[in-house]
Amino acid sequence: MILAMTEPIAQSGPGFFTNLLIIFLAAAFTENILLTRFLGMCSFLAISRQMKTSVGLGFAVVFVTTFTAAINWLLHTYVMVPLGIQFLEYIVFIVVIAAFVQLVEMVIERYSPALYFSLGIFLPLITVNCAILGVSLFMLNKQNFGFWESLVFGFGSGIGWLLAIVLMAGIREQIKEDKIPPGLRGSGITLIVTGIIALAFVAFSGMIK
């Protein structure tokens, strides 16, 4: 869908900002990284227990996806392609992500120690959150992406992940007191609910094309 959008189908294609908006909406909704590709499930299942921590981790992911997508695009376009070392993209991307997560960790520890402690191990684990690496790699598949498109794509994907975890946290806080069969408590019911939300998100798929 995105490809269709970014290619000039009609002579008068969408304007620059309209295009960015469409990329954003597509990344956040129709191609939601968590609900359509099921990436980044580990921290999603573990952290979505509480609204406050979910929002915190969600924004950390938004920050990391946005900037890593942009930096990785720059590195890929201006360093790796000219030097012919695209085969290093995985290792370079993950190094950039690791460095950025360190940075986010320092920022959160400085400005919100409570959030820092409640995220616990999942904050450094954003590094190995496959959603982040996924965003950078999917970005390469979109052939016509320039710098701004990549930045917006990263931001939109992050917002999509934030949206998914916040939705889930809201639902989990609601059903906390409910009588759930013992075998389904915790991750079980969360996965089922995630599946149902994912079905709902499929409905978005017709909206951008």
Partner 1 sequence: MTFWIAVGSLCAICGILALLLVIADGYLNNYGICKLTINKGSKEAEVEGGSTLLSSLNSAGLFIPSACGGQGSCGLCKVKVHAGAPPVLPTEEPHLSKEERESNVRLSCQLKVHNDMEIEVPEELFSIKEYKGTVESLTDLNHDIKLLRIALPEGEEIDFIPGQYIQIETPAYKKTPEPVYRAYSIASDPRDKTHLDFCIRLVPGGICTTYVFEHMEAGNPIRFNGPYGDFHLTDTDKDMIFIAGGSGMAPFLCMLAHIKNEGITRNVTYFFGARSRRDLICLDKMAAFEKALPNFKFVPCLSEALPEDNWEGETGLVTDVMSRHCPDLSNMEAYLCGSPGMIDASVAALTSKGMPIENIAYDKF
Which residues contact partner 1 (rule: CB under 8 A)?
75, 79-80, 83-85, 87-88, 91-92, 95-96, 99, 102-103, 106-107, 109-110, 113-114, 117-118
CB of 203 to partner 1, least distance (A): 38
In contact, 64 and 158? CB cutoff 8 Å: yes
In contact, 5 and 208? CB cutoff 8 Å: yes
CB of 99 to partner 1, least distance (A): 4
In the complex with partner 1, which residue's Cβ is closer, 113 or 188?
Answer: 113
In the complex with partner 1, which residue's Cβ is closer, 110 or 179?
Answer: 110
Alpha-carbon gap, residue 70 to 201, rounded angstroms: 26
In the complex with partner 1, which residue's Cβ is closer, 21 or 98?
Answer: 98
Alpha-carbon gap, residue 61 to 162, rounded angstroms: 7
Nearest to 29 by CA among 197, 169, 144, 143: 197
In the complex with partner 1, which residue's Cβ is closer, 88 or 180?
Answer: 88
CB of 197 to partner 1, least distance (A): 28
Alpha-carbon gap, residue 42 to 40, rounded angstroms: 6
